[in-house]
Structure 1
Amino acid sequence: MATESDAGGFSLQGGFQENRPMFTLGYHDSKRETPLSELQYGYLLNQDFSVATTPITNSNFKSRVFKVVSDHLATLKANGEKGTSIATASRADPILLPLTPEDTSMFPSQAVNTYVAYTSPWIDLCSTDPVVANISRQVLNLEVNYASWCGVKSIIITGPGQDASKDGGNQGLAQYSRAIQEVLTIAPSISVLIHIPMYREPLVGAQNETLSSLNEQEASKADGGDIDIFTSWDSWNQIRSVCKYNPRLLVALKVPKVMAEKDLQNRWFCEPLHYLTLGPEVFQKNKAGYPSLTRNHQDMIFAYMRLKNAPWLLLCDVGPDVRHITDGKDEKPPLSEADFPSLAEASRPAFRVSTDSSVYCEYLRWLETQQAPFSVLETPILTNFQDWLQSPLQPLSDNLESATYEVFENDAIKYDQYELAIAEALKEWNELSLPTSKPGVIVMAVAGSGRGPIVTKAIQAAESTGSKVEVWALEKNPNAYVYLLRQNAQKWGGKVNVVKTDMREWKGPVVSESPETGPVYGKIDILISELLGSFGDNELSPECLDGIQHVLAKPHGISIPQSYTAHLSPIATPKLYADIYTRALTDATAFDTPWVVSLFQLDFVAQKVPGHPRFQEAWEFSHPIPDSTLDAVVARRSGGVVGGTGGSMAGAAGANDHNSRFCHLTFVARTRGVAHGLAGYFESTLYERKSGPNKGKKCEISIHPERIDEKSKDMVSWFPIFFPLKQPLYFPADTELEVSMWRQTDDTKVWYEWLVEAWTWVGPSARVKVASSDICSSRKIACLM
């Protein structure tokens, strides 16, 4: 495999044998003043480009605007007024005249809607000079309005010239944000892309001339001091916050010459990236003289290309030169003697710096083949679920469709782990010669059998361990019950006892029955269930298993799973927040819903530090619960609690209060950022050996991001859960994010409440709160028991 240092030929051998993300290339020439001609655009398409930018106005318009500003500033100076004064209520700023045919070469055409318009980079919306800022805003509005009328579908606007951390930057950034908000209103059907650097690199070489250069005070300002790599992201965060996370507001991210640290890369990863822009300074020459990117640049691009909507690569001032294509003629310069090497020269290795601009495209196409192939978790179906909000299931109150069951059944990893857990339980039962509920037979029940995949695994586990078993399959869904009967007849050979019932109402396996005494019910030795949700308990597994525990044999009865834990981490996910914000316009409960979602385009804002891991356990449930707890539940339901201790804070009898939970967790954020909510995960111990040489051996499943590969690699049955905040929580660097979460119940339903607070230290033993969310609650859409 070629490396960045020896990729002179960019061999594509093997590049199409495995499926990988594809690169989409774009073309931008900052010196161009007119749109590409039809032949020039066709030439670029033949060079494997998919899109090109076009300027909206030309140098004639620039000269006209510069003259207006220059003349006005001169007049103010002559009159003794300061152009940088904020008190301008009595001053009339100049008004730009409309565009003329001499100001632009863009006109409505069949091709114009395929272009990406680029606004004039010489305006300065952030200027502290009110004249410059006002004229810049007028220019932007004129260009955007005209481009929209011509039929352009997307526009790139140069990002703010300075950030809020610089002198006057806060005022300038407020002006810039307001201008972008206005643009989104002026052009309601256009996508607006902010061309902004990943971070502010030190200025190198000559800078572009802007309107601010006409003001001596503005032009004399120079950047200096230490580099804060998060100021550029801060500016973007303010712009999109002012614009209320408008889905038409996107990012064209300028890739830096020196790649930033991972924390910043992860921060931009979760933003709405549409372009990664690559300028000539980003490329370096390899030993063969061809352009290449450093390994850090490659890794960043490879990571960003795994997004469902992968960003396009926009080559800025590198790539093919189309100026020689005019009027249908290819006016390349005539060949010179250097183009005809001697035989001796031609036989030498071509280790020379190439001047052919197409090598940039060739290199990127080669780089495309160096990506890792899509994994088993990156199939088109699973990729389509990335960051797609789904309401959590309510299997107790709803009957699931067959297609829903089928999706879960495609996860072989989960069912293999269940089979392993059942087999271990049977083997240990036999090794210890434990008494059984039915002489010589281990009685097993699968509670909530669905279409029967775990029933099949239970039968296979019994066969592999040589255990004699009796299997019961319980299912409340009347449609799934029909399917289970068919499975029993065609697949299980009539070995399974299928019962249509809510597991909480089941009295146990029928041992005998007579007209005089009625049915006599027995017990079960192993209770198997698949009731876990994305947060472990969010589909009411605790309540369901409490209801059926009375049929479990004592003292040796086994529950599979034996326990499960819920885990949390605060995250930034602008994409999901924008989606929920839009839904909230018509759905009042959108921000109160714990959404099930395949989280992908996100940033974990907390870092792993001693004593404060990035993912922290919220609470745990274990089964079976103590008999004393069950006795208290029965007493509360019957009103038999003496001494006035009955009842709960939720206004009910309190029979389910033992399944209430509370946690208070502290996370550490070293860099400043924003939290949009909490990501929730679960882990479960299906079975743990209690004796013998394998004592302590566990069969587990997990969706914990740091442990899923260790415990249940490639398992896809459960996506994480997302608890959103109604307002994004911005916090400074070195902040402690304190999360409080409650699992609440009123005996008829279960819901969650969550609160996030940001604290920062102001002394060795003193903290102050710098931000706090509202207490969020899912009570209005609680899970019904």
Structure 2
Amino acid sequence: MSSDGGLNPESETFESQSRPVFYIGQHETNRPEPLTDDQYSLLLNTGFRFVTAPVTNQRFFQRVVDLHKAYLKEREQWAQEHGLSAAQLQNPSLPGPVVPTLTDEDTSLYPSDYIGSLAVYLSPWIDLCSSDPHIASISRQVLNLEAAYANWCGARTIIIPGPRKDDDGRGIAQYARAIREALHSAGRANIVIHMPMYREPGLDETAETLSSIFGPENGTKEDASKEIDLFTTWDSWNTIRSVCNYSMRLFVALRIPRRVPEKTLQERWFAEPLHYLTIGKDVFQPNRAGHPSLSKHHQALINHYMRLRSIPWIILCDVGPRPEELSIVAEPMAVDFPSLAEATQALKEKRKPHMPAINAHVAYMKFLERQQPPYSAMETPALTSFQDWLQPPLQPLADNLESATYEVFEGDPVKYDQYEKAIAQAMLEWRELKKPMSGEGPTPDSPRELVVAVAGAGRGPLVTRALRAAEATRTTIQMWALEKNQDAYVYLLRKNKVEWGNKVNLVKTDMRGWEGPQAQGYETLIGKVDILITELLGSFGDNELSPECLDGIQKHLARPHGISIPHSYTAHLSPISTPRLYADISSRIATDPNGFETPWVVRLFALDYVAQKVPGHPRFQQTWEFVHPVPILRTEQFVEEHGDISRYTTGGVGSIAGASGSNEHNARHCHLTFVCPTRGVIHGLAGFFESVLYASQTGEGKDPIEISILPDQIDRKSKDMISWFPIFFPLKVCDSSSRSLAFDTELEVSMWRQTDDSKVWYEWLVEVYAWVGPKTRIKVGASELHSSRKVACLM
């Protein structure tokens, strides 16, 4: 391999597939007809896996051109015969040209065994954006004829050339409406719009359009000196997919430019439904050995995009073999009896005689495939399958979890390693600070024991870690494990006998109803817990009701020195663009009317963080915090002041109507401001959490032991932890794609954690502001107030 990323194809050997696989196809801009069977076989022998195919041929193109010419000539004759003026000829009621149906002479595409492996490419000469209503009408008719016929032939993918320019919206609106119609015409095929990443000169289609034939409208070239707005092409795509209601059958084929754009635009396209990455011949550069290669920036871009769950396929454009080369099919006798020179050359090129050599560009791309970074610990097949897959959050209080669910949680060593470190440090510092222990030994002369309780033990992983920490620190403990799930309790009983040597006191109970540990040798005396351990955290920290659960059990903590692990946790938000999730939720509204009111647990992957980090306004911002233990328990205080809580069911103490207010201290509210310098669309809010499991109490400046799923902190605090995916709060409407919002857009995010003493839910609202002066900003948009009350987490 050369220093600039090239290779000698003959020097590379096959490696095992521990990386994404490149599925490489070929597109020839000037291919007039689909390949014959023999030509298709020859092309596959050059290393390609699939090929594009036109629906119609040059004869059909000429027939359409002649049709419009005849219409224009007929209109002139009308004007001469009837004395019509130019203004009268613009009468919208005058009939326009109608494209007749296809004939067998217009196409060479027919149903075949391999039609499903062809990417059908519609005619690039149509102009759906034309301001001439007749050319736009003809283009739309051709689009529907070709799309419907390709769909009938069995094509699974139809590629449609994208608009040639990004205008003020009129032409793009026409184009978008036509694509929406094509989705109905081709009801079984995926529609792929071929778009440039940005308007780099020379990156668009080169084929002559109807508009350029019949007028100078689209024949004029863009001013090369004009500054390029990187986001205009994405604006056009956003209009197209919005008009098509985020159809799950609508995708993008992204033209890779010669000059790779800034990271912000790369991430914006990364979030879109990419089906193909297309690379033209001009993007490749010869290396020192003369072989084609790509720059380091192109390699990094491709490697990044190939990490998507649905790996985009790669189409190489105009890199050969050319149509005329494939038309030369060797005579059977010549193939059987090649000359000595032909046989020697074929052997050298590792091919059969009279077969084309492996394409140099394909060979380079296969080399690039092998040079990708291997799959990481976070890219196992199981984890990859969860990318951008919506899951309703768990209801651990209302539902009993399955054994398989526990098993998934237990497969994360990082989380339990951090818990074990926290428990061990807490035990060491307990002894170092000479805190009293609450447990009595088996005899009056026995030393005191540290009482440790795991609340919500599940199948016991935290119990195992607590016992291991006690052994490592040589701490004598009295171990308690609480579990409300009857089936999990049975498993714990067996584990206590087989693994723990009956060292654990097991109690089947909801932690909130536990009466506390009974002192050894006494039946009625209730003791205290020195270290309380739980793993009740959710993707947003508190969304699985950790605060409410700990409220019900922390009264058993020894005061003032009792320890809760975790000690605290914070929730964080960031606005994101994630078209895939928005399309997914939109598609299921008929069966799930609460889709946009549900906080979904999802492994966010194909997304764009639209907010930027600026002073005072980070990309990820904290919403609120919970700290344990709470010095004053609201429930106990309420009972002391008001008596039995059950008597207060109609509110009246400043709480939610119908609630007693005993859980009001766990309600929260935040108001955050995010800065979005580039225009875009906000589809929802990504939620994360961080937790301090244990903070040193010795005052020696030790770092706290933490876990985090914040993207900018997880590698530092709990690298490769997989127990929690982020949470996603969707938005119904929040569009900031207008050109006037290109810079200095601010998002004001309001969120509430609400409770009525029987359940907990979230409410969220996003408002969009734009600066119109040095000290003046105006509100330009807002989402609805969303509420998850109908799918609230039950207490």
TM range (shorter): over 0.9
Query: Which of 658, 661, 667 is the aligned partner of 1:654?
Result: 661
Residues 316 and 429 from structure 1, CA distance in 2 versus in 1: closer, same or farther, beyond 3 angstroms?
same
Which digits, 9 at most, give the CA deviation of each residue in 1:325-366, with x for residues without a partner? 448526999x99x9999xxxx9xxxxxxxx977111111111
Report the AA paired with residue 111 of structure 2.
P
Deviation for aligned residue 1:27:
1.2
1:228 aligns to what SS in structure 2?
A: coil
Indicate if the aligned counterparts of 1:561 and 1:687 stay in contact, CA closer than 8 A: yes
Alignment of 1:80-229 (within 5 A): 88-163=91-166, 166=167, 169-203=168-202, 207-219=206-218, 221-224=220-223, 225-229=226-230
Deviation for aligned residue 1:83:
9.1
Which digits, 9 at most, give the CA deviation of each residue in 1:232-287, with x for residues without a partner? 11111111111111111111111111111111110000111110011111111111
Report the AA paired with residue 713 of structure 2.
R
Deviation for aligned residue 1:537:
0.1
Report the AA paired with residue 314 of structure 2.
L
Deviation for aligned residue 1:631:
3.8
**1:426 and 2:427 equivalent?**
yes
Indicate if the aligned counterparts of 1:633 and 1:656 stay in contact, CA closer than 8 A: no
76-85 or 755-764, which deviates more: 76-85
100-109 or 410-419, which deviates more: 100-109
Query: Which of 700, 722, 745 is the aligned partner of 1:735?
Result: 745
1:739 aligns to what SS in structure 2?
A: strand
Query: Which of 555, 563, 575 is the aligned partner of 2:568?
Result: 563
Which residues of structure 2 form unaligned runs of 5+? 349-355, 441-447
Aligned to 2:680: 673
Indicate if the aligned counterparts of 1:684 and 1:701 stay in contact, CA closer than 8 A: yes
Which residues of structure 1 form unaligned runs of 5+? 347-354
Aligned to 1:350: none
Residues 255 and 206 from structure 1, CA distance in 2 versus in 1: closer, same or farther, beyond 3 angstroms?
closer
Indicate if the aligned counterparts of 2:211 and 2:219 stay in contact, CA closer than 8 A: no
The whole-number CA distance in structure 2 between the counterparts of 1:664 and 1:128 is 46
Aligned to 2:708: 702
The whole-number CA distance in structure 2 between the counterparts of 1:299 and 1:84 is 56
State the aligned residue count.
Answer: 761
Which digits, 9 at most, give the CA deviation of each residue in 1:459-513, with x for residues without a partner? 0000111111101000000000011111110100010000000000001111268
Residues 660 and 206 from structure 1, CA distance in 2 versus in 1: closer, same or farther, beyond 3 angstroms?
closer
Deviation for aligned residue 1:437:
1.1
Which digits, 9 at most, give the CA deviation of each residue in 1:132-165, with x for residues without a partner? 10111111111111212222221110001221xx
The whole-number CA distance in structure 2 between the counterparts of 1:117 and 1:278 is 17
Report the AA paired with residue 140 of structure 1.
L
370-379 or 150-159, which deviates more: 150-159
Which digits, 9 at most, give the CA deviation of each residue in 1:190-241, with x for residues without a partner? 1111011011112489942110013334145442332111111111111111
Residues 32 and 507 from structure 1, CA distance in 2 versus in 1: closer, same or farther, beyond 3 angstroms?
same
Report the AA paired with residue 770 of structure 1.
V
Aligned to 2:68: 69
Query: Which of 697, 722, 739 is the aligned partner of 1:690?
Result: 697
Which digits, 9 at most, give the CA deviation of each residue in 1:727-755, with x for residues without a partner? 35334222101110000000000000011
**1:4 and 2:22 equivalent?**
no
719-728 or 52-61, which deviates more: 719-728
Aligned to 2:54: 55
81-90 or 228-237, which deviates more: 81-90
Deviation for aligned residue 1:77:
5.8
**1:407 and 2:415 equivalent?**
no
Deviation for aligned residue 1:72:
2.5
Deviation for aligned residue 1:585:
1.6
Aligned to 1:726: 732
Which digits, 9 at most, give the CA deviation of each residue in 1:494-553, with x for residues without a partner? 100000000000011112687xxx622111101000000000000000000011011011
Report the AA paired with residue 628 of structure 2.
H
Aligned to 1:27: 26
Aligned to 1:717: 723
Alignment of 1:229-244 (within 5 A): 229-244=230-245
Which digits, 9 at most, give the CA deviation of each residue in 1:21-57, with x for residues without a partner? 1100011112111111112212222233221111111
The whole-number CA distance in structure 2 between the counterparts of 1:83 and 1:194 is 37
Indicate if the aligned counterparts of 2:762 and 2:787 stay in contact, CA closer than 8 A: yes
Aligned to 1:493: 501
Which digits, 9 at most, give the CA deviation of each residue in 1:620-655, with x for residues without a partner? 0000112264543434673699xx972403431111
Residues 220 and 143 from structure 1, CA distance in 2 versus in 1: closer, same or farther, beyond 3 angstroms?
closer
Indicate if the aligned counterparts of 2:540 and 2:727 stay in contact, CA closer than 8 A: yes
Report the AA paired with residue 286 of structure 1.
N
Aligned to 2:247: 246
Aligned to 2:483: 475
2:733 aligns to what SS in structure 1?
A: strand
Indicate if the aligned counterparts of 2:530 and 2:557 stay in contact, CA closer than 8 A: yes
Deviation for aligned residue 1:691:
1.1
Residues 302 and 83 from structure 1, CA distance in 2 versus in 1: closer, same or farther, beyond 3 angstroms?
farther
Alignment of 1:158-557 (within 5 A): 158-163=161-166, 166=167, 169-203=168-202, 207-219=206-218, 221-224=220-223, 225-321=226-322, 323-326=324-327, 328-329=329-330, 358-439=359-440, 440-511=448-519, 519-557=524-562
The normalised TM-score by structure 1 is 0.92
1:404 aligns to what SS in structure 2?
A: helix
Residues 655 and 681 from structure 1, CA distance in 2 versus in 1: closer, same or farther, beyond 3 angstroms?
same
Report the AA paired with residue 765 of structure 1.
K
Indicate if the aligned counterparts of 1:26 and 1:50 stay in contact, CA closer than 8 A: yes
Instruction: List 4+ stretches of structure 1 deviating above 6 A.
Output: 80-87, 330-333, 338-341
Question: Percent identity of the aligned residues?
Answer: 56
Alignment root-mean-square deviation, CA: 2.7
Indicate if the aligned counterparts of 1:700 and 1:711 stay in contact, CA closer than 8 A: yes
Residues 471 and 5 from structure 1, CA distance in 2 versus in 1: closer, same or farther, beyond 3 angstroms?
closer
The normalised TM-score by structure 2 is 0.91
